[in-house]
Amino acid sequence: MDITSANSLVIEAQVIEALRMVFDPEIPVNIYELGLIYEVKVDPSGAVDIRMTLTSPNCPAAGTLPGEVQEKAKAVPAVTDAKVEVVFDPPWDPSKMSEAAKLELGLL
């Protein structure tokens, strides 16, 4: 069963909310507010593609964060599958953080 464009936006919002429950173990801010999630796309079948990065290629959480992101996305109702692609272009830097993250970390 294909989902409509409107439903796709709802699922995307639900996936983003789920990703707000994932935290970098070294930084007390969720990965979405940190700016580590570059893209969330929902296709008509309900499959979700997520492009994300890490704070650095040597991030100690590199082995666990992508899997946690995939599991959180898959747990959203109507998501049929989730794939996570870790990219380093563009590289992450603190400018990618939301205002809320900057405030939480005392950078504002």
- Distance separating alpha carbons of residues 16 and 92, to the nearest angstrom: 18
Domains and CATH numbers, the chain: 5-104 (3.30.300.130)
| Threshold 0.85, pTM exceeds | yes
List, run by run, the mean pLDDT of 10-residue segments along the chain (108 residues).
77 96 89 96 95 90 93 96 96 93 88
15: helix, strand or coil: helix
Contact between 56 and 64 (Cβ < 8 Å): no
